[in-house]
A and B are shown apart, each in its own frame.
Chain A
Amino acid sequence: MQRLLNFFYEYRAFFTFLLLEIFCAWLLVENNQYQSTKFFNSTNRFAAGILGFSQSTREYFFLRQINEELGRENAQLRTILERQGQPIASAPLQKDTLARYDFVSAKVVNNSVAQFKNYITINQGTDAGIQPGMAAISIFGAVGKVKSVSEHFSVLISVLNIDEQVSSVIKRTANFGTVQWDGTDPRIVNLLYIPRHVQPIVGDTVVTSGYNAVFPAGVLVGIVSDVKLKEEALFYDIRVELAQDFRRLSFVKIVKSQIKPELDSLETVTIGKPQ
């Protein structure tokens, strides 16, 4: 016993090292699970405060651009309303859409595009009704989904995260695939699992499919920028240029899906519980 203790004491540095590294690895694995670690991330009020400060300093230099984007969104919304032939003040609320989805606007506090696993922190949390699993979109297109939430902040998994997959569809051909980032260029994502018999062309629009009820159907993801088909491959290699330039993301909308619980429970009844 004495010798064993001596042995541990002799190599205490190594064992401490091992212990710490195992703990870190556990944290890492835990953090990579979807919807985990509630507190030790940038939703923590102190961290979000500091990041928000540096983001707002940086944002100051992009004010003109942000203004322009907001103006454009405003114009878009007005056109939609006017197209329905109604004065803005008494615009009818589309009952169907309203019942399905609700939106919360939020400002980006922290964002990165250069890492392999990028996350976005926003300044709305549970007090605005945000829950993990909700989708985030911007005026241009899909942004990501909510990973964890604190009272006033939330962390989103960006589409620019090598672990994130978005069920999407090529609008013209109505073929389903999965959008996933490969970790290199923050403007480009890959569209996977489009089978050989489809004829996608450069310029095709890729939108979300709405199959998993996280994203509403038809949210723009991007435009096909390159199509390749290898000799023996089962699927196309399709590159999609993202509609949202993530380097300039400053406002997002969180989509509160009212139908998700219903859809989930219905699927659980018919198909069985997801693992």
Chain B
Amino acid sequence: MNRSGFFIAIYFIVYLLIQVMLFKQVVLFNTTFCFLYVAFILLLPIETNSLVLMAIAFLLGFFIDIFYDSLGLHALSLVLVAYLRNYWLGTITPQGGYDAGEGPTLAVNGLQWFMVYTVPLVFVHHFILFFTEASGFRIFWFTMLKVITSLMFTMTVMLFLQYFSFERRR
């Protein structure tokens, strides 16, 4: 295993533990979840092979599911995000392309680009997650409320962490 592989493994475990030990307990107003673990897939290096990406996403989702007792649910949503990610990255390539070896982070590409990159993907993840769990559109508006509020919560935490690591890097 090379150096970056090692770091990715560490991050994998950190994101998993933070999700199941901290954010599993933090649910605001009974509707607002924080699924920060999506950030792990979104922030992997740009040139990551999409097969590898999906495999990692499946593993992470699977482990999260074990803790949430919802086998298959988080894995399904996260694999979808992993699949869409590289296409989306290709679509929104900034002028001049990406710098080699950089992650798709806020520090490198700026806030506007970062929002355009993350918000739709996180939305897709939450949308699929909640509607699959509700097994359909029976309680559409309540589920939609969950999707939107959780999107805001997840994005807030993600941005906060991005700024945090941004400051540290300089």
Contacts and interface: CB of A to CB of B under 8 A. Distances in A.
A28 to B, nearest CB: 3
Interface string A99-133: 00000000000101111110101000000000000
Given A53-B21, A114-B27, A116-B134, A42 B69 contact: yes
B72 A113 contact: no
A20 interface: yes
A16 B51 contact: yes
A121 B69 CA distance: 9
A184 B138 CA distance: 12
Interface stretch (A44-52, A65-73, A204-212, A261-269): A44-52
Given A41-B69, A115-B68, A13 B27 contact: no
Nearest to A114: B27
**Most B CB within 10 A of own CB, among A20, A51, A183:** A20
Chain B interface size band reads 35 or more
Interface string A1-15: 000000000001110
Nearest to A148: B69
A54 B25 contact: yes
Given A24-B72, A24-B75, A13 B50 contact: yes
A155 B135 CA distance: 21
Interface residues of A, number: 43
Across the A-B interface, the 4 shortest Cβ-Cβ residue pairs? A27-B72, A28-B72, A24-B76, A119-B69
Contacts of B134: 116, 162, 183
Interface string B59-86: 0011001111111110110011001001
Given A44-B66, A47-B67, A183-B139, 14 more contacts: A13-B50, A13-B83, A24-B76, A25-B72, A27-B75, A28-B71, A29-B72, A42-B67, A47-B66, A112-B68, A115-B68, A115-B133, A116-B134, A117-B133
Contacts of A24: 58, 61, 72-73, 75-76, 79
